[in-house]
Structure 1
Amino acid sequence: MADRFLKQGQVVATVLRILGIASSTYYDRKQRGTHTGIATTPASPGRPHPGYSLNVSGEKISDEQIQEWLMELVEGEENGYGYKLLTQCLRDRRGLILDKKKVYRLCKELGILHQQRPAHSRYPRHLARNRIVTGPNQLWQMDIKYGYVMGRDRFFFVLSLIDVFDRVIVGYYQGSSCDAAAVVQTLERALRSRLQDGEAKPVIRTDNGPQFLSHAFGEVCEKERLEHERIPPKTPNMNAYIESFHSLLERDLFQKTEYETFEEAYASVDQYMDFYNHRRLHGSLRRKPPLVFSEWVMQLADRTPFYRTL
């Protein structure tokens, strides 16, 4: 009935008076898109999440990095905190400018809200321990680095796997997102390209990022019979080799280059990975590039072992 009146050009106030609807009620429900018997426009879906938060220095911190910090908190002494206290921890320790609603959303995505968190994990937790590494493919370290595409105002992700003996990047992935499936595929490709049939498999060391705590990652480690060890919270020195490589990536590439497109960023990373493995000299590798050092060591008939204590 109201639609017929409006189509005939009647003034809204007259129609509301005839129908006995208060104007305040009509305009409030129209704004919220609630059905009133009068045709209204659909409610706006709202502003999309930007994918990052700012810290007190004005630096953009990706949601994925914030989720990694949240996982470190709930794996540590703050495991009993709710999302409100976790929000305060992020503000105090990381200098983040964010509200509790966003932290609630990120915790919900991770499944770490108190009522949703599982009591037991199917895959047991193995803490990282000091190791003496005497050859390649004994210990690989794995982590995620965040880059930024200025032209899109979005982050991209570089997942890298490094062999701590010869510093070779044995596998990497880059993309606008980095979920557990991408991590699993990258690890499986690295195993196939690096190892011969029947060769002993490396220990995989990671931090407590959500991708590495996922069921998918636990399943591939179980299938491949890999030992997956995680560093304790707040101990990045136990993942020092991959952290060092990502520091080089930040210094040599990300701090010097502003990317307009994802394609430009990916091509730049591909070029750097090739340079790093084949041509970048390392003082700790007899001033040789990682792949050259690896081949040189394997060719020595009677060599003194090179040790890396982790």
Structure 2
Amino acid sequence: MNIIDDYGRLAIATQPEFSIPSERVVRILNEVIEVYGLPKQIVVDNGPEFTSKSFLKWTQEKGIDIHFTTPGKPTENAFIESFNGKMRNECLNENWFKNIEEARRLVEDWRNFYNSERPHSSLGGRTPEVYLRCSA
């Protein structure tokens, strides 16, 4: 699961898993909210972790608008699809992971690189961290 800020393209969280139940999604989002604040909207696909009663109840309790992308229309969530492709090409396909713990560690290292060192054409050649600092 990847959580990206649409405005500044900051990779807020990456969570490599074989599968992720909705309860874990909610727990991760609660941790993210503690650091970054409550989002107005979350854009998600139609995976079972996002269509479950527990996730929908959580978004309602938090007052978060949820937007489900249309199945088969990845362009509706282009920025996350772009991020997923970059992570796959630059991190996942470049490493052979011995176990899930190693995958988590290497993906987290790549997320930090993505946010602080990797220039983004959509941000005028700046990193997400620099872009958000300049926008504040």
Q: What range describes the TM-score normalised by the shorter chain of this pair?
A: over 0.9
Q: Structure 1 residue 172 and structure 2 residue 10: aligned?
A: no
Counterpart contact for 1:171–1:187, Cα < 8 Å:
no
SS at match of 1:244: helix
Distance 1:211 1:294 in 2: 30
The match for 1:182 among 17, 24, 28 is 24
Paired letter, 1:234: G
Aligned partners of 1:204 and 1:228 also within 8 Å: yes
> Does 2:32 align with 1:194?
no
Asked whether 1:246 is paired with 2:88, we answer: no
Q: Which residue of 1 aligns with 2:43?
A: 205
Distance (Å, rounded) in 2 between the aligned partners of 1:226 and 1:274: 27
Bigger fraction of residues in helix: 2
Instruction: Pick the aligned partner of 1:276 from 114, 117, 121.
Output: 114
Q: Which residue of 2 aligns with 1:17?
A: none
Q: Looking at both structures, which has the greater relative contact order when contacts are Cα pairs under 8 Å and sequence separation is at least 6?
A: 2
Q: Distance in 2 between matches of 1:245 and 1:178?
A: 19
**Shift, 1:209, TM fit:** 0.4
Query: Identity of aligned pairs, percent?
Result: 26
Q: How does 1:211-230 map to 2 (within 5 A)?
A: 211-230=49-68
What is the deviation of 1:232?
1.2
Measure how far apart 1:176 and its partner are: 4.2
Distance in 1, matches of 2:78 and 2:26, equals 22
Q: Would the alpha carbon gap of residues 231 and 176 (structure 1) be closer, same or farther in structure 2, given more than 3 Å must change?
A: closer
What is the RMSD of the two structures over their aligned residues, measured on CA atoms? Answer: 1.4
Question: What amino acid does structure 1 have at the position aligned with 2:121?
Answer: G
Q: Where does structure 2 lack aligned partners over 5 or more consecutive residues?
A: none
C-alpha distance in 2 between matches for 1:276 and 1:172? 11
Q: Per residue, is there more strand in 1 or in 2?
A: 1
Counterpart of 1:266?
104
**Superposed CA offset, 1:178-208 (max 9, x none):** 111111111122222112xxxx732111110
The Cα offsets for residues 229-283 of structure 1, whole Å up to 9 and x where unpaired, read as 1011111100111110000011001112111222221211110011111111111
Shift of residue 162 of structure 1? 0.8
Inter-partner Cα distance in structure 2 for 1:176 and 1:260:
14
Residue aligning to 1:162 = 4
String of CA shifts for 1:133-191, please: whole Å, max 9, x gaps.
xxxxxxxxxxxxxxxxxxxxxxxxxx111111100112332334311111111112222
Indicate the SS of the match to 2:126. coil
Equivalent-residue separation in structure 2 for 1:233 and 1:293 (angstroms): 32
One-letter amino acid matched to 2:51: L
SS of 1:174 mapped into structure 2? coil
Amino acid at match of 2:76: M
SS in 2 for 1:220: helix
